[in-house]
Amino acid sequence: MKVEMFYSPGCAACEDRQAELRAAARDTVRGVEWCDVNVLENMDAAVALGVITLPSIVIDGEVAFTSLPTKAQLCKELIERRGSRK
């Protein structure tokens, strides 16, 4: 499972929560691939995935959150997606 967090440099909320959400994802799903994606350096990828607001979280190529989720919201989404892959 791949999780990408699209953010803009200088976003205090993004910077404060990246490590927390990354740790929660890794604790929830074994082997999750987490990528912090600077939208200014990766605009084409953001557009291709349909990211229109920042911060956004994309899971396996699909926009899952268009704002920062809580740890509980992220974990719930990851568990549901992991369950649907069986």
Q: What is the C-alpha to C-alpha distance for residues 77 and 84, in angstroms, rounded to an integer? A: 11
Q: What is the C-alpha to C-alpha distance for residues 3 and 33, in angstroms, rounded to an integer? A: 6
CB 77 within 8 A of CB 29: no
pLDDT at 42: 95
Q: Return the amino acid letter for 80.
A: E
pTM over 0.85: yes
pLDDT along the chain (86 residues), means of 10: 95 88 95 95 95 95 96 97 74
pLDDT at 51: 95
CB 35 within 8 A of CB 4: yes
CB 57 within 8 A of CB 4: yes
Among 11, 2, 77, which Cα is nearest to 38's?
11
